[in-house]
Amino acid sequence: MFGEEYFKTRKRLTDVVVRVLGLADKTDAEKTPLLDNDITKGLSNPFLFVVCGEVNAGKSTLLNGLFGEDVCKTNVLPETDRVQWYRYGEEAHDKDVTPILEERYRPVDFLMDFNLVDTPGTNSVVIGHQKITDRFLPTSDLIFWVFPASNPWGASIWNFICKQHKKNKGMLEKSVFILQQADLRDENDMEVILEHMRDLAQQRIGMVPPIFPVSGRLALQAKTETPLAEDLWRVSGYPALEKHISDIVTDSPARRQVLENVRDAAAKVLHNIEGKMELRTKLLEGNEGFLREIEAEVDKEREKQSSDFVGKFSGMREVFISQSAEIKEVVRKRLSVFPTLKSFFSAENIPKMIESSLVESVKSAVEKQAGDDGNHLVDECRKHWETVRPKIKEHLSIELGDFDQETDGFGKTHERFITRMGRASRQAVVNLKIRGGFDMQLVERRAHLKKWLYVALILLMVSGVTGAMKLAPYPYLSFGLLACALACVAGFMMRALSTRKEILESLDERLEDARVPFADALGVDYRDGVRDFYIEYGNLLGSVRQHISDAKLELQPNLEQWNGLFLELKEIEQNL
Ligand SMILES: Nc1nc2c(ncn2[C@@H]2O[C@H](COP(=O)(O)OP(=O)(O)O)[C@@H](O)[C@H]2O)c(=O)[nH]1
Ligand SMILES: [Mg+2]
């Protein structure tokens, strides 16, 4: 294959162009210079070789030698009087373009990159033939002037060359002279003939193009043998010719320019892509900043709600005070004279009853307050969400549902908050250890009052006995004892009331002292509960966060592909 290096670079560039266009599509970048047909068409343009020479010079055989197969018909008689344009086609077929131009499509790989124009001969007299030759010569990459080695000085071809040379400046630079059918001459003759041709060329056209003595027939024969018949191949003179063709293909400035233009266009589009990606990265960074602002706002809102808790908590203290007032009333009743007396005869646990009643009432009051506060928090979140939604729509074009579409109104968190506060309040009351101290006081009181009662009863009994036995000084002794018993009962009653007062005072003091630790004990749970609401609220922004990180992930492979393409394009540039 001729010009392997060139075709490798061209293929690579074509691949890069396809991938650059793909990336441009993905990143929405401007592709204009690469869409310009004039620029990219050059990538697939085949090379054009034109073969000129007299009838029977061996032109068709020369081409078959290059193909390595019998593509062009050869004949002693003029095979055709038409110009034949050999092009690639998946099926072999011929197409008349004009009465003197015929397109011949052949499934030969070589033709994908090279088109060949086989002219019928400079000595053929076909009207209009000249016109066709005029059309192909200027655009051709290479012109083979074919001379039969048997007689390379035929007048008609030399006249034709002179005429074309005058019309087409630069034509000779891309011309080579082929001395075909060299196998018919021996080596010494060839030397003489070559010398003679050089002189003739100098005389007629003022320069000597490269001259290659070859034998198309031997070349074809060599190529059709497997493996290639090396000796025949060398003798055919084709190695030098093919090397020359390769050099022309690789060094063609026009072709190189095409590659450079395509490379420049690809670089431009790559630059556009870079711009788009930078913009996108900036936008995403902006989005992240925006999201951080909103998150900070949510944090601030949480802080605010947690710190407002001092105010709300005075409410919790009030709850405790009002509940303790009720409790004191109950205690006062329980410790009045008759219930106290009754309590000597029936088992009852006043401290336990007091504690559980306090626990229950405080718990339900705290739960109610927590329920109200929870509703308030949900309202605050809802209000805030309605300020966030339009901002996210404006900045990130993300449509978020309203608060109740996006959440269940924080129902579970709300319930958890209430349960948590209820439990905390129970624990807080128990931790106050009101019961322990109270218990001791009651035991002491009972023991003390019992003494009074027992003494009164004993006196009453003794007074009865002495009265019945009429012991002297009757009845003064029994009346005296009765009076003493009554005095003891009065003492009992007075002590019962005064100890009740003492106990109530100390209970009052204890409850008073407990107010602050009680509220403090709830503080931690309350703050955590508030935080729960805002954690759940913050999660609402999760879809936005996800959207941004998805977009970033999407960007990553594009960045990598861009880097790869940039490096490849740089390498191609160095090869050019
Ligand atoms: N010995 C020999 N004969 C050749 C060679 N090339 C062509 N011929 C013969 O020359 C005749 C004309 O060849 P052809 O390729 O058709 O010439 P065209 O008219 O210029 O295309 C045919 O009979 C070929 O067999 C060659 O390299 N060596
Ligand atoms: Mg021919």
Beta strand 175-180 with 211-213 is parallel
What pLDDT, in 10s, does the model give residues 514-543? 877 887 888 888 888 988 999 999 888 888
Does any ligand 1 atom lie closer than 6 A to the CB of residue 57? yes
Dihedral sign, Cα of residue 45, residue 49, residue 55, residue 59: negative
Q: What span, in angstroms and rounded, lies between the C-alpha atoms of 576 and 564?
A: 19
Q: Ligand 1, atom 26: nearest CA belongs to which residue? A: 181
First to last CA, the chain: 20
Please tell me the number of the ligand nearest to residue 62's CA: 1
Mutation test of ligand 1: which of 122, 181, 236 has the most ligand atoms closer than 8 Å to its C-beta?
A: 181
Does any ligand 1 atom lie closer than 6 A to the CB of residue 60? yes
Quote the Cα angle for 363-369-372, to 5°.
140
Per the CB < 8 A criterion, the answer to whether 545 and 291 are in contact is yes
Q: What span, in angstroms and rounded, lies between the C-alpha atoms of 372 and 495?
A: 46
In the prediction, which pLDDT does 98 show? Answer: 83
Residues 6+ apart with CB under 8 A from 463: 478, 479, 480, 481, 482, 484, 485
Per the CB < 8 A criterion, the answer to whether 34 and 17 are in contact is yes
Please tell me the number of the ligand nearest to residue 59's CA: 1
Peptide bond into 99 cis (omega under 30): no
- Is 296 buried (19+), middle (13-18) or exposed (0-12) by CB count in 10 A? exposed
Report the CATH superfamily, name and number, of domain 46-251.
P-loop containing nucleotide triphosphate hydrolases (3.40.50.300)
Does any ligand 1 atom lie closer than 6 A to the CB of residue 133? no
pLDDT interval class at 128 (50, 70, 90): low
| Report for 48-57, 233-242, 279-288, 327-336: range of highest mean pLDDT | 233-242
What pLDDT, in 10s, does the model give residues 385-425? 999 899 888 888 888 888 988 888 899 999 999 999 999 99
Does any ligand 1 atom lie closer than 6 A to the CB of residue 120? no
Q: Ligand 1, atom 2: nearest CA belongs to which residue? A: 181
Does any ligand 1 atom lie closer than 6 A to the CB of residue 53? yes
The alpha carbon of 513 is separated from its chain's Cα centroid by a whole number of angstroms, namely 60
Q: Ligand 1, atom 6: nearest CA belongs to which residue? A: 58
Q: What is the mean pLDDT of residues 275-298?
A: 91
In the prediction, which pLDDT does 214 show? Answer: 97
Max CA distance (Å), the chain: 189
Residue type, 255: R
In the prediction, which pLDDT does 357 show? Answer: 85
Residue type, 414: H
- Residue 101, H or E segment: strand 101-106
Kindly report the number of other CB atoms within 10 A of residue 426's CB atom.
17
pLDDT interval class at 318 (50, 70, 90): confident
Tokens 């958890």, residue located: 416
Does any ligand 1 atom lie closer than 6 A to the CB of residue 347? no
Q: Ligand 1, atom 16: nearest CA belongs to which residue? A: 74
Q: Is the pLDDT of residue 79 over 60?
A: no
Q: What span, in angstroms and rounded, lies between the C-alpha atoms of 472 and 265?
A: 142
Which residues lie near ion ligand 2 (Cβ < 5 Å)?
A: 59-60, 79
DSSP 376-432: HHHHHHHHHHHHHHHHHHHHH------HHHHSSTTHHHHHHHHHHHHHHHHHHHHHT
Dihedral sign, Cα of residue 291, residue 292, residue 297, residue 300: positive
pLDDT interval class at 76 (50, 70, 90): low
Q: Is the pLDDT of residue 66 over 70?
A: yes
- Provide the residue ranges of all domains of the chain, joining segments of one domain with +: 8-42+252-291+543-576, 46-251, 308-448+498-540
Tokens 């499934």, residue located: 107
Of 42, 44, 15, 19, nearest to 31 (Cα)? 19
CA 72 to centroid of ligand 2, rounded, Å:
7
